[in-house]
Amino acid sequence: MIRSGDGRPPAMDTAVLEVVRRRTESTRVEIARELGVTAATVTNSVKRLLAAGLLWESGHARSTGGKRATLLRVNDAARRALGCTIDHDRLSMVAVDTTGALQSRVVLPLVDATDPREVSESVREGLAALIPDDELGAMTGIGFAVPAQLPEEVDQALRALTAELDVRATRGREGTCAALGSFWSGEQSGAGLSGTVHLGSTTTLSLLLDGVPFRPDSGQSLDHLRVDPEGPVCACGRRGCLHLYVAPDGVDELSRTALEATQGSATAQADVLAAALPLTRIAANLAIALGLESMVLAGTPVQAAPAIYLRAAREHFEDETTTQVVVSQVQPHPCAVGAAVLALQAFLDTGGR
């Protein structure tokens, strides 16, 4: 088994905390059984988590004849983590507690999401709204759900801001963050392999195994997956690429159309359904091929018109009874919640250092 420099299995503390979080209460023996590790491994991990104030002993389990086992709970007030995602017209930030539960949120408008000064000032404003200055020390850090086309100048400005504030920063692909946000918000089952198709700056499939990203680079783009060899010509030189169908005029325009659809425009409803059908067709085929227990559809257009995307999903998943279809409705943004989870996990994986 690969081990970190201090001799413990990488991410073991995170895995232990996740088991307790999911079960609400658990004993050391139950944790060891679920993770398939020795009792000593769990005991050492629990000692670190207790010392860091991330777990607390909440009493004793029912007696089975011998010494009663101690129950463990997550100390939800121990730490807070922030998550941030940047759309073309807004910046969404959330604060979550140690269990990943949403504590507060703020959405700030952006005139120009490519302007490094405006974006960094909006992040500063969001930080002030969510975390008082005297509580920054109790914050594990901030996670950023990074869109595929984030300008280098904006990325550098965010790095400079977090360095100035001495705030730990973590970055993740927006698709992976959407999957984590959906999982930690309770939209997905707690075990097994699950997938999230996220419609954002790119269309991605992200996989989680027992709530953990299946691969570090999970969230590869599906934009140029060919769905029709006789379809329109793509800028890549091929024909019939997926993004030409799921967001023919771009995801920002599709989001606006989705809002019009929810306001009763029949034309907009038809346009969104036409875009949803090829997306869910691909999602259904991927779910069946991978044997997924659940498939989540996420993204700003999806959240703007969830009923339309769910209707399209049901059309393609109706014969696949083993897969649960979820249309994510995490507010204000599953990517922001997932980015906060990444910040929390990064804190745990470094032992809180």
Question: Token pair of 6, please?
Answer: 């201090």
Q: Do both 147 and 243 map to the same domain?
A: no
Q: Which DSSP category does 65 fall into?
A: S
- Cβ contact 98:123 at 8 Å: no
Q: Does 59 fall in a domain?
A: yes
Q: Which residue has the higher pLDDT, 322 or 119?
A: 119
Q: Do both 63 and 96 map to the same domain?
A: no
Residues of the chain with pLDDT > 90, as a percent, come to 34
Q: Do both 152 and 255 map to the same domain?
A: no
Q: Do both 204 and 291 map to the same domain?
A: yes
Q: What is the mean pLDDT of the chain?
A: 84
Q: Do both 207 and 322 map to the same domain?
A: yes
Label residue 5 by pLDDT band (50, 70, 90).
Answer: very low
- Say which CATH number the domain at 110 has: 3.30.420.40
Q: Does 152 fall in a domain?
A: yes
Q: Which residue has the higher pLDDT, 348 or 236?
A: 236
pLDDT at 6 exceeding the cut of 80: no
Q: Do both 154 and 256 map to the same domain?
A: no
**pLDDT tens figures, 50-90:** 887 788 788 777 766 667 788 888 776 667 889 999 988 88
Question: Token pair of 279, please?
Answer: 């997306």
pLDDT at residue 19, rounded to an integer: 84
**pLDDT tens figures, 214-249:** 765 555 789 999 888 899 999 999 999 999 999 988
Burial of 319 (0-12, 13-18, 19+ CB in 10 A): exposed
Q: Do both 113 and 136 map to the same domain?
A: yes
pLDDT at 193 exceeding the cut of 90: no
Q: Do both 166 and 294 map to the same domain?
A: no
> Domain total for the chain?
3
Q: Does 180 fall in a domain?
A: no
- Burial call 94-131: b when 16+ CB within 10 Å, e when fewer: bbbbbbbebeebbebebeebebbebbbebbeebbeebb
- Say which CATH number the domain at 51 has: 1.10.10.10
C-alpha 11/C-alpha 191 separation (Å) is 17
**pLDDT tens figures, 252-297:** 899 999 999 999 999 999 999 999 999 999 998 888 888 888 889 9
Provide the β-strand partners of residue 220. 205
Q: Is the dihedral of CA 111, 116, 118, 124 positive or negative?
A: positive
Q: Do both 166 and 297 map to the same domain?
A: no
Instruction: Supply the range of the domain harboring residue 86.
Output: 80-175+335-349
Q: Is the dihedral of CA 336, 338, 342, 348 positive or negative?
A: positive
Q: Does 276 fall in a domain?
A: yes
C-alpha 263/C-alpha 301 separation (Å) is 14
Q: Do both 91 and 131 map to the same domain?
A: yes
Helices (H), the chain: 12-23, 28-35, 39-51, 116-130, 152-165, 174-184, 243-246, 251-262, 266-290, 300-304, 306-317, 334-349
Q: Do both 69 and 201 map to the same domain?
A: no
Q: Does 183 fall in a domain?
A: no
Q: Does 2 fall in a domain?
A: no
pLDDT at residue 145, rounded to an integer: 92
- Burial call 162-173: b when 16+ CB within 10 Å, e when fewer: beeeebbbbbbb
Q: Do both 150 and 239 map to the same domain?
A: no
C-alpha 18/C-alpha 308 separation (Å) is 33
pLDDT at residue 65, rounded to an integer: 63
Q: Does 167 fall in a domain?
A: yes
In this structure, the number of other CB atoms found within 10 A of the CB of residue 31 comes to 24
